[in-house]
Amino acid sequence: MIFMNIFTSPVMAKPMYIDARSSIAIDSKSRCVLYEKNSDMLIPIASTTKIMTTLVALKYGNLDKKIEISSKAANIHGSQVKYKKGEIITLRELLYGLMLRSGNDAAIAIAEGMCESVDEFLKLMNEYAEEIGAINTHFESPHGLDSQYHYSTAYDLALITAKAKENKLFNKIVSVKDVDAKEYGFSRSYHNINKILYQIPAANGVKTGYTGNAGKCLVTSINMGEDDVIIVVLNCNKRWNETKKIYDYVKDNYEFKKVIKKGQIVEKYKYDEDKEVNLVCDQDIIIPFKKGESYETKIIKPKNIKHDLKKNDNLAKVSIYKNGEMIFSKGLKCEKDVQMNASSKFKNILEKILKSKEK
């Protein structure tokens, strides 16, 4: 076991009021919640919807596919890149138009170009959102213009963003300030309208949004050294200032520590009387520790194994608790194949037979 308890020096955090209807800050990798206000409230999310549109396009689309701009895409209201009907644009370029210029025309073109209809694309959006764990989210468009059953929560939107940030191209798109048409081979140049990239030096994305019902919205990613923090503010008139306020709160109250290194032997598991296998983690585990809080780590292992295991199969897990509540859990893998001897296998079979007879 790496450690059992961590105690940080007591620090009294100043009370903070955030002028937003709903907001949250999470660590992008561990998904630990660092701050929240009404983060499970169902709420319109405007053009922050386009984070999910991009995620679906990156998962299912061919980035080099050439898409013809339809009349429906060219004439959509709200923010536009101003693509013209009949223009041929690659999916890759449309993603830049979608995220840098918040183009509703790009959103429709992507949906139509990837699927037979916008409705078919929406099925992918809603199915993938549920797969990610965004279970309080429903999409009725790929752009986020106001409609009755188009909503999410700050928490779900943070989860979706965290998933999107696992993709290198997504990070490249949302962090760039200017794109030169000649350099990228695009039809036009793009300037990123997301002001947070210019106001916080460590910011590296993600997306603005505004509609009458949703108000001003902002999803931000900020590098904190070891990791990125995702901040969501919804229906927030002072979205730039309130995002900075949450960022300062996280900086002042959290320390990011690497608890386990990728490939590090976390524990040894004994099996078959005199045999053992090393348990390792397949990624760095970096956890935000809040000053003044106590943390505990537990390694949870089975009492015995019932069958052979292959290298990299999960055999145990490491869980981290904050004030008695689990905030993170990750599987630990076998460093090598585990082959049980014949007598152990026979013993397990016999135990199964006896248990079945008892029933």
315-324 residue pLDDT tens: 899 999 988 8
| Residue 47 bears catalytic tag | yes
Distances (CA, A) of 285 to 290, 329, 336: 16, 10, 21
Q: Between 295 and 138, name the one with better pLDDT.
A: 138
Task: Determine contact, residues 253/11, Cβ cutoff 8 Å.
Answer: yes
Considering 23, 28, 102, 221, which one is annotated as catalytic?
102
pLDDT at 354: 52
Contacts for 194 with CB less than 8 Å, ≥ 6 apart: 100, 174, 205, 206, 207, 208
Residue owning tokens 């809603």: 126
> How far from the centroid of its chain's Cα atoms is residue 356's Cα?
43
Distances (CA, A) of 204 to 143, 165, 171, 190, 354: 22, 10, 7, 17, 59
pLDDT at 27: 96
Distances (CA, A) of 294 to 5, 9, 11, 320: 7, 9, 12, 11
Task: Determine contact, residues 336/278, Cβ cutoff 8 Å.
Answer: yes
Domains, the chain: 1-15+250-359 (2.60.410.10), 20-237 (3.40.710.10)
d(CA 278, CA 93): 47
Task: Determine contact, residues 34/232, Cβ cutoff 8 Å.
Answer: no
| Residue 275 bears catalytic tag | no
| Residue 102 bears catalytic tag | yes
CA end-to-end span of the chain: 37
Segment 172-201, tens digit of pLDDT: 999 999 999 999 999 999 999 999 999 999
Q: To 5 degrees, how large is the angle CA 64–CA 68–CA 73? A: 120
Distances (CA, A) of 356 to 77, 82, 306: 65, 69, 16
Considering 47, 79, 141, 344, which one is annotated as catalytic?
47
Task: Determine contact, residues 193/101, Cβ cutoff 8 Å.
Answer: yes
DSSP codes, 178-195: EE-HHHHT-SS-EE---T
For residue 343, the tally of other CB atoms under 10 A from its CB is: 10
pLDDT at 189: 98
Strand 314-322, strand 294-300: pairing: antiparallel
- The amino acid sitting at 280 is V
Q: Between 340 and 343, name the one with better pLDDT.
A: 340
Taking the CA atoms of the chain, what radius of gyration do you get in angstroms? 24
Task: Determine contact, residues 251/233, Cβ cutoff 8 Å.
Answer: no
Task: Determine contact, residues 233/23, Cβ cutoff 8 Å.
Answer: yes
Considering 50, 244, 322, 330, which one is annotated as catalytic?
50
Does 15 score more than 70 pLDDT? no
Segment 232-286, tens digit of pLDDT: 999 999 999 999 999 999 999 999 988 899 999 999 888 877 788 899 999 999 9
Task: For the chain, give the percent of residues with pLDDT over 90.
Answer: 76
What DSSP designation does 227 have?
S
Which of left, alpha, beta for 248 (phi over 0: left; psi -120 to 50: alpha)? alpha
In terms of Cα–Cα distance, which of 290, 293, 220 is closest to 252?
290
* Out of 75-84, 149-158, 212-221, 308-317, least confident range: 308-317
- The amino acid sitting at 48 is T
